[in-house]
Structure 1
């Protein structure tokens, strides 16, 4: 996806694996970023980013939370299958703040076995 006009995006944008909850995540840049979160688990799970909570019902396997597009989906046979109807919360507010403003805290509960975050750091 091409970057939005007026922003520069990080080129090294590999996912960061979080191993325990709560986790702290450092970011660089001058603007808040809209991450892509890959969550693996089973059952009902809750993910919180900087105090903003998203609940997802009946997770089975890996789901993706795309803050930039406000989508929650699974990848099945190479296609996105929306599971937004199984979620409750404010996806658009699950942003990461630059370290100069705050330390990002990510927590989760429920049957979560893995969390990876692609930060999508940016500058204005």
Structure 2
């Protein structure tokens, strides 16, 4: 058991909320891609309320946008962990970073596909 996992109950939830907000702040301050996705979400999510679609389609429009934010947070976390280990160029580090980037590429593709299918379908 990790010594960092000592809190339980409401104290754990309070601490976890703080850590999550710290992570969002760090991503916003330090990751241009995260800020760009925030702008995309600020445009697309409100726009989704003005499109005449079913509730399920509306949910999909919003969820794919939020998924891209989640993927970017995970991608940034992988990059930060790799950089913390070493800034030395290494094939495994490159693979890890490239895979994180590929995940984000797919998430952005999902936005394009889902929005395209719903708007044009």
Where on the TM-score scale, by shorter chain, does this alignment land: which range? under 0.3
Structure number with the bigger relative contact order (C-alpha 8 A, sep ≥ 6) is 1
TM-score by length of 1: 0.25
Higher relative strand content: 1
The structure with the largest alpha-carbon Rg is 2
TM-score by length of 2: 0.26
